[in-house]
């Protein structure tokens, strides 16, 4: 077997493999004998079929498989012997010569091979990454306090409808009447909203529903018809306001304080609000550090990737599920993530970052607790939280996301121990502007 390599650049090479008959003939004959043993031809006993018939029936397959075996063996040997950090896998060259599949011929195959770059860089206290220390302002405390009171608020009877209110209406058109429809004023088209603001129970309006409610799905649901029926309707309806529902914040009472934070006084409630803001923004500060550190580390590593090959490989392995245009469209995001995977792997090895099952479970529990908190469930029993977390980890996509998150967190934690943190004080409001 003859092998020639042509080094294109540091990351790309072209490999030409020439397979002679002696490289595949024994394998080809063995395959044909195996076919003969199993062949079932009318008029012949099993295993006694003339080889000429076996050759005619299975010859092309035996030839192709035996030649491919020889090529694969040679490719793998070359990669291993040369310690290549192969990107993806070798691809047939785009200028592969036409192959004439005849036993006894010599066959030539050309492959494109790309390598991942070797990553090596050092970190020290001379490397600085900004770390924001976030100060909690009165405005931020008031905002969260109001949001919490709103979260635990309720809909009550109102008088004149405001932009954030709901109205309960009847729609009439001739014999058709749709009663008790809820309309959120924030969902009314901006051009028509002014005529809805200020309405009171008993008010009657002529409404063009197509203009007032631009979302077709919402409009069909509101009028209690299908989308097909919607298209046939005259859009002009008489709308009678039956009730106005306004959202009222939960009152500043002991009951409310107890319900939200398990405390009794407003002073304790305010302290809990500030505690939550500090906790949330401590996480935000860590996240921002991770983002800035990632950018810094990618610049420091200065990773070069065989991008042309990588695009082609992605296209080939996905068997045309994505067009090259699709790949190009998302390329800027993909290539950053691809480079980061390599840099992170290097750092994890360099700083001996280990991922334990307990790390994954803790991260999943944190995510579960956040999900429950969004629905006002702040004191979920530990066993329920753990069961929910284990379920998250059992799901392939979610489990991968958690693993990726934990690897990032532990890698950045290791980096923080090595580099210098350039601490910078910033208010909640100014910090938000960074993102």
> How would DSSP label each residue in 167-206?
EEEEEEETTEEEEEEEEEGGGS-HHHHTTTTT--TT-EEE
Ranges 6-15, 163-172, 345-354, 373-382: which has the least confidence:
373-382
In the prediction, which pLDDT does 43 show? 65
pLDDT of the residue at 366: 86
Do residues 168 and 160 touch, judged by C-beta distance below 8 A?
no
| Residue 435, pLDDT score | 66
Report the alpha-carbon distance of residue 235 to residue 222 in Å, rounded: 13
The secondary element (H helix, E strand) that includes residue 15 is: strand 12-19
| Rounded CA separation 59/66 (Å) | 11
Query: Does residue 166 carry a pLDDT above 90?
Result: yes
Q: Which of 244, 227, 256, 292 is nearest to 145 (CA)?
A: 256
In this predicted structure, the answer to whether residue 429 has a pLDDT above a threshold of 70 is yes
Q: What is the pLDDT of residue 361?
A: 93
Span 300-305, average pLDDT: 95
Helix H or strand E encompassing 92: strand 91-92
DSSP type of residue 262? S
User: Range with the lowest mean pLDDT among 42-46, 236-240, 419-423?
Assistant: 42-46
Residue 83: phi and psi, rounded to 5, are 50, 45
d(CA 367, CA 168): 37
pLDDT in tens, 63-120: 999 999 999 999 999 999 999 999 999 999 988 888 889 999 999 999 999 999 999 9
pLDDT reading at 380 higher than 80? no
- pLDDT band for position 247 (cuts 50, 70, 90): confident
Residue 378 is predicted with a pLDDT of: 67
| Burial per residue of 256-275, b for 16 or more beta-carbon CB atoms within 10 angstroms, e otherwise | bbeebbeeeeeeebeebbbe
C-beta atoms surrounding 241 within 10 Å = 19
Q: Give the whole-angstrom CA distance, residue 111 versus residue 434.
A: 47
To the nearest whole number, what is the mean pLDDT of the chain? 91
What's the CA gap between 164 and 158, in Å, rounded? 12
What is the reported pLDDT for 229?
87
Parse the chain into domains and list their residue ranges: 2-114, 128-143+255-434, 154-248
Tokens found for residue 374: 């969004």
Provide the percentage of residues in the chain whose pLDDT is more than 90: 74
Q: Which helix (H) or strand (E) holds 421?
A: strand 420-427
Q: State both tokens at 41.
A: 């031809």
Annotate 321-335 with DSSP letters as a single string: SS-HHHHHHTHHHHH
Enter the CATH code of domain 2-114.
3.30.70.1050
Residue 36: predicted pLDDT: 84
Q: What is the rounded CA–CA span in Å between residue 4 and residue 215?
A: 64
Q: What is the pLDDT of residue 91?
A: 95
- Tens of pLDDT, residue by residue over 6-62, are 999 999 999 999 999 999 999 999 999 888 887 777 667 666 778 888 888 889 999
Contacts of residues 377-386 at CB distance under 8 Å and 24 or more positions apart, as own/partner, are 378/260, 378/261, 379/262, 386/361
- CATH number belonging to domain 154-248: 3.10.50.30
Question: What's the whole-model pTM score?
Answer: 0.73
Secondary structure element (H or E) that encloses residue 62, with its range: helix 51-81
Give me the mean pLDDT over the 324-339 stretch.
93
Query: Using CA atoms, how far apart are residues 275 and 289, in angstroms rounded to an integer?
Result: 21
Q: For the ranges 222-231, 285-294, 369-378, 397-406, which has the lowest average pLDDT? A: 369-378
Residue 376 clears pLDDT 80, i.e. is over it:
no
pLDDT at 228 over 80: yes
């Amino acid at each position: 077997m003859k092998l020639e390599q042509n080094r294109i650049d540091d990351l790309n090479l072209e490999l030409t493999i020439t397979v002679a008959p002696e490289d595949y003939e024994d394998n080809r004959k063995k395959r044909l004998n195996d076919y003969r043993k199993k062949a079932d031809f009318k008029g012949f006993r099993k295993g006694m079929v003339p080889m000429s018939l076996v050759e005619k029936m299975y010859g092309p397959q035996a030839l192709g498989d035996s030649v491919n075996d020889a090529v694969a063996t040679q490719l793998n040997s070359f990669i291993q012997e040369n310690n290549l950090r192969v990107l993806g896998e070798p691809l047939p060259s785009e200028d592969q010569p036409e192959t004439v599949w005849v036993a006894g011929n010599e066959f030539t195959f050309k492959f494109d091979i790309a390598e991942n770059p070797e990553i090596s860089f050092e970190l020290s206290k001379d490397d600085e990454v900004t770390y924001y220390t976030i100060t909690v302002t009165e405005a931020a405390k008031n905002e969260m306090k109001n949001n919490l009171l709103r979260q635990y608020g309720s809909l009550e009877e109102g008088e004149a409808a405001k932009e954030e209110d709901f109205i309960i209406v009847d729609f009439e058109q001739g014999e058709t009447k749709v009663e008790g429809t809820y309309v959120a004023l924030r969902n009314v088209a901006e051009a028509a909203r002014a005529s809805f603001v200020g309405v009171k129970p008993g008010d009657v309006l002529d409404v063009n529903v197509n203009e007032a409610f631009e979302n077709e799905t919402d409009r069909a649901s509101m009028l209690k018809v299908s989308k097909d029926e919607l298209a046939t309707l005259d859009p002009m309806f008489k709308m009678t306001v039956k009730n106005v529902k306004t959202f009222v914040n939960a009152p500043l009472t002991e009951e409310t304080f107890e319900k939200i934070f398990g405390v009794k006084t407003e002073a304790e409630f305010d302290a809990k609000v500030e505690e939550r803001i500090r906790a949330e923004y401590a996480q935000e500060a860590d996240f921002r550090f991770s983002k800035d550190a990632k950018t810094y580390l990618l610049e420091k590593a200065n990773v070069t990737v065989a991008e042309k090959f990588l695009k082609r490989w992605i296209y080939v392995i996905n068997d045309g599920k994505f067009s090259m245009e699709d790949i190009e469209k998302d390329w800027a995001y993909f290539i950053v993530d691809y480079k980061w995977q390599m840099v992170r792997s290097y750092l994890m090895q360099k700083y001996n970052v280990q991922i334990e099952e307990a790390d994954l479970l803790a991260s999943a529990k944190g995510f579960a607790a956040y999900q429950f908190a969004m629905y006002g469930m702040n004191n979920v029993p530990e066993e329920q939280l753990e069961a929910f977390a284990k379920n998250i980890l059992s799901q392939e996509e979610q489990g991968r996301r958690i693993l990726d998150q934990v690897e990032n967190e532990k890698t950045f934690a290791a980096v923080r121990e090595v580099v210098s943190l350039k601490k910078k004080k910033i208010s909640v409001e100014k910090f938000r502007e960074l993102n």
